[in-house]
């Protein structure tokens, strides 16, 4: 049966009593409307393969999900394929077979394997943000179909959730993934090109008060003491949380000697790619010794081994961050420290900022504070001519901070307890 199809006709045509009714569109060569006795309507394109000369049929989709205008557009595209010697039915089968490789999830995996893990120290962060914030929405979606508006929708969801900084990080990550795809010849255009950052970031200023430090120190070791000790170590040393999580016993030196105990983080694990010496104050040394006592033969030499069944090695930094978030959620009561904690929940990075701030309060020179935190020096003299490692100066500064910290929390490690004001006076002398 043939006739010029219209929207009204397609909408109102009755199903056959038996068999399948097929109506060819006289206004679009090859397009046919197929109707089953149950009233299911679908579109198909009939053609003759130019290579074999055999007739063929390619499905287009069901009505009304695919309307008459869209069906004609698809038929026109298939007719052009046939004119170019392409079998549209075979092409659809091939597209279905390779659909997984063209999904964003496959692109993200290629990015992690071929770029992030080879060239970026933040590869774990990239993987975490992809799996947590991007793949749940785009895992099976063809990456070529992702447009600028899709990126904006994804990012705005994070901004609306009160996570502007994370929104900007995710946007940058998506842009990097698509830049990788452009370089690999997978797509022609990056949908994030010249897309402005949508999150308004605030410069981090969160520093824990004395009351919050006491609250943190006494409560963070419950219910998981090992993880809690790791977060305590972050407050004692100012190390980055990823460096804490990956602590290998091979990086520890002279633990038997309290005056020489040290942790040397290799450049392969530091942000600035330089080895970083952290002198262990008595309180930090005692924390490390307790962690070592808890380590078993299955730890693989790591103080914080992963509990994952899918991989070996140390736990990831976000596990410690999640533990700190969980600590905040467990806090209940009307204490002022609990109120301020809930009003602005601190992160592990805020522990690092607290160390830097407290060292400044204790009158440690900026040069020494920067060395303690492993901030890269930018001046020519420091980069090329000053090769001093500042080990003694860093040990003195961190010992002063441990002394002050012990006074705040009640000195659980047994170091001499002195009031914070007295400690500051000693530093001034």
8 Å CB contact between 408 and 214: yes
User: Cα-flanking dihedrals φ and ψ of residue 52, to 5°?
Assistant: -95, -20
Token code pair at residue 377: 């020096």
- Between these two residues, 385 and 148, which has the higher pLDDT value? 148
Domain made up of 210-428: CATH architecture: Orthogonal Bundle (1.10)
pLDDT-derived band of residue 99, with 50, 70 and 90 as boundaries? low
Q: CA-CA distance, 16 to 7, in Å (whole number)?
A: 19
| Domain extents in the chain | 2-96, 102-183, 210-428
Looking at the chain, the whole-number percentage of residues with pLDDT higher than 90 is 71
From CA 302, how far away is CA 314, in angstroms rounded?
Answer: 6
% of residues, the chain, pLDDT over 70: 91
Would you state the structure tokens that stand for residue 220, as one six-digit string?
Answer: 């963070």
Q: Is the pTM of this model over 0.85?
A: no
Instruction: Give me 322's structure tokens.
Output: 């999640």
pLDDT of 420 strictly over 50: no
User: Which one, of 42, 43, 67, 45, lies nearest residue 56 by Cα?
Assistant: 45
Contact 75, 30 (CB under 8 A): yes
Higher pLDDT, 100 or 348: 348
Which whole number is the average pLDDT over 3-19? 93
Class of domain 102-183: mainly alpha
- The fold for domain 2-96 equals Double Stranded RNA Binding Domain (3.30.160)
Lowest mean pLDDT across 94-103, 122-131, 232-241, 254-263: 94-103
pLDDT digits (tens, 9 = 90+) for 162-216: 888 889 999 999 999 999 999 999 999 999 999 998 887 666 688 999 999 999 9
């Amino acid at each position: 049966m043939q006739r010029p199809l219209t929207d009204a006709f397609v909408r109102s045509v009755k199903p056959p009593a038996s068999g399948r009714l097929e109506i060819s569109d006289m206004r679009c060569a090859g397009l046919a409307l197929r109707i089953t006795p149950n009233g299911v309507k679908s579109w198909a394109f009939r053609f003759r393969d130019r290579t074999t000369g055999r007739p063929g049929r390619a499905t287009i989709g069901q009505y009304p999900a695919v309307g008459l205008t869209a069906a004609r557009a698809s038929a026109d595209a298939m007719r052009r394929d046939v004119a170019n010697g392409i079998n549209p039915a075979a092409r659809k089968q091939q597209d279905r077979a390779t659909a997984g490789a063209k999904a964003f999830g496959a692109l993200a995996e290629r990015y992690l394997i071929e770029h992030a893990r080879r060239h970026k120290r933040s590869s774990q962060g990239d993987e975490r943000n992809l799996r947590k914030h991007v793949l749940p929405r785009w895992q099976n979606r063809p990456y070529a179909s992702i447009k600028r508006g899709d990126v904006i929708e994804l990012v705005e969801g994070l901004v609306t959730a009160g996570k502007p900084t994370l929104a900007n990080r995710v946007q940058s990550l998506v842009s990097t993934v698509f830049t990788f795809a452009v370089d690999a010849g997978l797509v022609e255009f990056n949908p994030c090109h010249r897309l402005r950052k949508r999150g308004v970031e605030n410069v981090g200023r969160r520093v824990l008060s004395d009351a919050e430090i006491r609250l943190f120190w006494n409560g963070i070791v419950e219910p998981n003491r090992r993880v809690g000790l790791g977060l305590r170590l972050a407050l004692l040393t100012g190390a980055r949380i990823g460096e804490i999580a990956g602590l290998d016993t091979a990086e520890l030196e002279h633990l038997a000697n309290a005056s020489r105990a040290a942790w040397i983080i290799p450049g392969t694990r530091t942000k600035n790619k330089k080895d970083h010496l952290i002198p262990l104050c008595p309180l930090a040394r005692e924390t490390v010794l307790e962690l070592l006592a808890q380590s078993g033969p299955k730890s693989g030499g790591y103080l914080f081994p992963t509990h994952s069944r899918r991989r070996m090695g140390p736990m990831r930094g976000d596990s410690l961050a999640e533990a700190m978030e969980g600590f905040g959620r467990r806090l209940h009561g009307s204490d002022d420290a609990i109120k301020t904690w809930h009003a602005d929940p601190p992160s592990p990075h805020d522990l690092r900022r607290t160390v830097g701030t407290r060292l400044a309060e204790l009158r440690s020179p900026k040069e020494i504070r920067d060395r303690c935190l492993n901030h890269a020096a930018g001046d020519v003299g420091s980069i090329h001519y000053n090769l001093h490692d500042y080990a003694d100066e860093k040990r003195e500064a961190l010992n002063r901070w441990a002394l002050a910290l012990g006074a705040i929390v009640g000195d659980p490690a047994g170091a001499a307890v002195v009031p914070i004001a007295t400690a500051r006076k000693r530093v001034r002398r």
